[in-house]
Chains A and B, each alone.
Chain A
Amino acid sequence: MAHDILDNSGFSADRKLKIVGTNPIKHDGWDKVTGAAKFSSDIVLPGMLVGKVLRSPHAHAVIKSIDTSAAEKLSGVKAVVTRADFPEIKEGTPYGDMTRMVIAREKVYHEGHPVAAVAATSESIAKRALKLIKVEYEVLPHVIDPVEAMKPDAPVLHAYMRTKGAKPGDAKVWADKASNVVERYELGVGDVAKGFAEAEFVVEHVYDTKPMHQGYIEPQSCVATASEEGEVELWCCTQAPFVYRDRLSEILKMDSSKIKVQQSELGGGFGGKTAFYAEPIAIQLARKARRPVKITFTRSEVFRGTGPVSGTQSRIKIGCRKDGTITAAEAELVFQTGPYSGSAFTNAPQAMFTRYDLPNVKTVSYEVVSNRPKVASFRAPCVPQVVFGVEDVMSELATKIGMDQIEFRLKNAMADGATTIYAEKFGKIGFIETLEAAKNCEHYKSPVPKGCGRGISTGFWFNRGGETSSSLQVAPDGSVTITLGTADVAGSRISISMMVAEELGIPVDKVRAVLADTHQLGFNRVTAGSRTTFSQGVVLVDCSRKVIKEMAGRAARIWKVPEEGVMFEDGMFRPASTNVGEFKPLSIADIAKQTTNTEGAIAARSDMNVTGAGPGFGCHIVDVKVDEETGFTEIVRYTVVEDAGKAIHPLQVEGQFQGGAVQGIGWALNEEYIFGTDGKMQNPGFLDYRMPVASDVPNIDTIIVEVPNPKHPYGLRGVGEVPVVPTMAAIANAIGNCIGIRPRSLPMSPPRLLKLLKEKKGKA
């Protein structure tokens, strides 16, 4: 079905707005400040059992046998499941790999890989039962580092795997025997040899970044029930209820219509709750025990068993002329993915240079399996890691040619109508405006504080739309309920409610957003990629316009005038002109209470594959001070400048900027997965995996740029991904300018910086 709103959003820069652009209190906030909000782990059902997962102690091993008999005999144990309780699906297919990540079949692929699970009447009994399960392993050699994993003599994870896109002439990949390289992906434009020949300055370096964890404070938790008829209900914290349902249907071989997924409040996700872990296990336990089962992960399980972010190794080369014009760029990128493909690594070559208008680009990317937990999405998946190198090279080039950092980027900036390396032609974009705002801001113009270094960096994210299905109901009292099938990861319910209130001309308090279960609406794509507030804005403005049209029709019939004789303005239906007649204007509530003597309930629904997301651009400015005795980096001042298109709820937008930047600060300075030679993660807790705390960071200043996206009724662009993209590079540049030597490896932790400082002294 065609949707007019996708072609004509009705956006107008002159529209007078009453609600959009203000900062009402989030409706879900009250429950969250009083402890009443229901997160998954708060859900309790009658007869509920506690589920616990047994995990592999080895990084790579064949499972020879599993004996659960002693566990089953323990009093209080109601069900035990292993690989035998899950349908067999061929390995090397998407669902075959997915079911093997949920519970190991032939082999375990990383320490922490689930092997069995129990459901018991108490947690202590469940824990005792796990100890009674006997698993016989044949331990295999393992490989953790992806560059090691690419070598011809590395232990191979999957004997059947042949590199997709292998190309003769590239010695890193081969097609005739097994390899740990899932795919080789080449993307480029123009002629880089010619471009580099034209360059007067060329800079090239190698960078590496470590996997970090999304770090949501709420560990995964779910409750599953199964009816005697074979229907399943699942409460869980998820960014993707519909995706979970359909994947559960595939790996458990059940109809989607028999699975109801109800999202609870979500205690942070950042991409990490787009894939399920314990949910299928809880369902199989519940089906076997015929009682509800709850599984809640410990923090250690979250670290060892759920997705971190890809670590990378990259080589990046850029050439430019003396006047600052970039003539060519080249990159070779290696991405960790864990035991199976799924890193979304092709985002990186597409996005890494996009914001600069480059005639000649060549990129070659590799996705590599190894014996670590499978990666999951995180804000702008796979992009910040490689922008770390791109923006370091950019900064060095600017310094070499003696050009201001922002001027150099402006010189090469993409403008409206630019075409990307992946062949998208941009409409209206705001990169130049973002750079101008950064250049003119007080922070950038101020002198660098004594003893500090300043760095800047930029970033881009596509922003997404996609399948979105929602409904809107007008109650007889004129208040409005909107039912959303997307998740609320940070407060999108209020922003979406605000757009509906603005359309309908009613106070935002008269709108309530509820999070649907999967039986209530059509398929909704995952809440990720900064798509939700954008897409829901389109869909619910569409619903709002539909109910306005419906109510205008009813007003016309109540007044016995033609439909064109009714206009809607400021929340009231009025005669369009005096010719229509004299009628007292009708409010939404006036019409809504007459459903009995008109055509019944007033509601609308809209299901569409939303298009028209406007790309997002940002620029970060940071001042740091490095203690040369200890190697400790202090973030002294930080400013985020980003184009939001239109900030629906400015405090929410600022919160996205600030939260993203601080996650980036953690990634830049501290966060990493550390593995021992035994292949085990050595820091699976918040004490040793150190995320930023309040005293580690300053206030994060924000500048919201607003270059409207005309494809959205209010001009909005997604804002959630970009804030983490430039961060590590900005900090690396600042550190480089502070200590006179550039770090090219993450995290830039005290021991690493001390080592660099020592090398510098050695040279001096």
Chain B
Amino acid sequence: MKKHHITLSVNGDDYDALVEPQQTLLDTLRDTLMLTGTKEGCATGDCGACSVIVDGTLQCACLMLGVEANGAKVETIEGMAKGEKLHPLQKAILEHNGLQCGICTPGVLMAAKALLERNPDPTETETRFWLAGNLCRCTGYDKLIKSVLVAAKEMRGA
């Protein structure tokens, strides 16, 4: 199958990639660029494990084609910590045990980051509804939600 040449920026780094026309952004990140932090749970847009931020908007990477990401600025979990310094959301999830197996964690973190960028002071209900697209089978959500609210508070400097 003839491949297409795309260029994109991921976490501030420029990449060239050859992608098949039907190949998703998720497969492009994972298989072509070897950035495996973004996870696949369903490939149908129902679990949120593949959440990334494309040009400032939260997206399921499994619902977008690689060719559609040509020229885009993509943020993934690999770019969330700044060097040694964890993002407050990462820190809160660690401290409050907001993860068990950790497979949903990268997606949850990207989705929560997008939430706090839009709404720095979400209520618990708003947080639960915003993260309703991110399935977690381990935690029962309690400690996940708590972690996000704690991080939001810290980021507001409250």
Could you list which residues of chain A lie within 8 angstroms of chain B, going by C-beta atoms?
23, 25-26, 28-39, 41-42, 44, 122-124, 214-219, 265-270, 296, 298-299, 489-491, 651-652, 654-655, 658-663, 685-687, 691-697, 699-700
Contact = CB atoms under 8 A, between A and B. Distances in A.
Given A26-B97, A124-B1, A697 B36 contact: no
A267 B44 contact: no
A639 to B, nearest CB: 12
B104 A655 contact: no
Given A490-B101, A651-B96, A217 B106 contact: no
Nearest to B36: A42
Interface in B76-121: 76-78, 80-81, 86, 90, 93-97, 99-106, 109
A26 B90 CA distance: 13
Contacts of B57: none
A697 B41 contact: no
A258 B33 CA distance: 34
Given A28-B102, A124-B20, A490-B100, A694 B131 contact: yes
A119 B91 CA distance: 41
B38 interface: yes
A159 B76 CA distance: 54
Given A32-B105, A659-B140, A25 B95 contact: yes
Contacts of B86: 33-34
Given A34-B37, A35-B78, A217-B135, A658 B102 contact: no
11 contacts: A26-B99, A33-B99, A33-B106, A38-B36, A39-B39, A42-B36, A217-B41, A268-B137, A651-B97, A655-B97, A697-B141
Contacts of A214: 137
Nearest to A298: B43
B45 to A, nearest CB: 8
B112 to A, nearest CB: 11
Nearest to B145: A694
Contact of B44 (A28, A32, A685): A685
Given A37-B102, A695-B128, A655 B34 contact: no
B93 to A, nearest CB: 6
A34 B131 contact: no
B49 interface: yes
A686 B106 contact: no
Given A685-B44, A686-B44, A686-B47, A652 B97 contact: yes
Contact of B38 (A35, A687, A695, A700): A35
B155 interface: no
Contact of A658 (B38, B39, B131, B143): B143
B122 to A, nearest CB: 12
- 6 shortest A-B CB distances, which residue pairs? A35-B37, A267-B103, A32-B102, A658-B140, A662-B140, A686-B46
B136 interface: yes
B142 interface: yes
Given A298-B43, A299-B43, A686-B42, A267 B102 contact: yes
B49 to A, nearest CB: 6
B101 A267 contact: yes
Contacts of B38: 35
Contact of B41 (A34, A218, A694): A218
Contacts of B30: 42
B135 A693 contact: yes
Given A694-B131, A694-B132, A26 B140 contact: no
B37 A36 contact: yes
B105 to A, nearest CB: 5
Nearest to A685: B44
A694 B134 contact: yes
